Amino acid sequence: GQFLEDPSVLTKEKLKSELVANNVTLPAGEQRKDVYVELYLQHLTALKR
C-alpha cells in the first residue's frame, strides 16, 4: 500500500478504512478527523521508514 506522509488529505472515511485494513484498532465512537490522522501517522506512515 501507499502510505501518505500527510494523511490529512484523505477523507475521514478513507482514513478509517485504511486503519481497519491495517489492523489498527479504532477508538470507540465517532472521533474528530485529526484523531484518525494521528493514528495513521503513528501506525502506517511510521511503517515505511
- Per the rule left: phi > 0, alpha: psi between -120 and 50, beta: everything else, 28 is beta
Q: Which domain holds residue 29?
A: 7-48
Domain-located, residue 12: yes
- pLDDT value at position 4? 76
Say which range, 24-28, 39-43, 44-48, has the weakest mean pLDDT. Answer: 44-48
Domain-located, residue 2: no
Domain-located, residue 39: yes
Q: What value does the mean pLDDT take over residues 36-47?
A: 87
Angle of helix 12-21 relative to helix 33-43, nearest 10 degrees? Answer: 30
Domain-located, residue 27: yes
Domain-located, residue 42: yes
- pLDDT value at position 45? 77
Question: What does the pLDDT look like over 11-40, one tens digit per residue?
Answer: 999 999 999 999 999 999 999 999 999 999
Domain-located, residue 20: yes
Domain-located, residue 13: yes
- pLDDT value at position 17? 96
The total number of structural domains that make up the chain: 1
Q: Which amino acid is at 26?
A: L
Closest listed residue to residue 27, CA positions, set 42, 47, 45 = 42
pTM value surpassing 0.75: yes
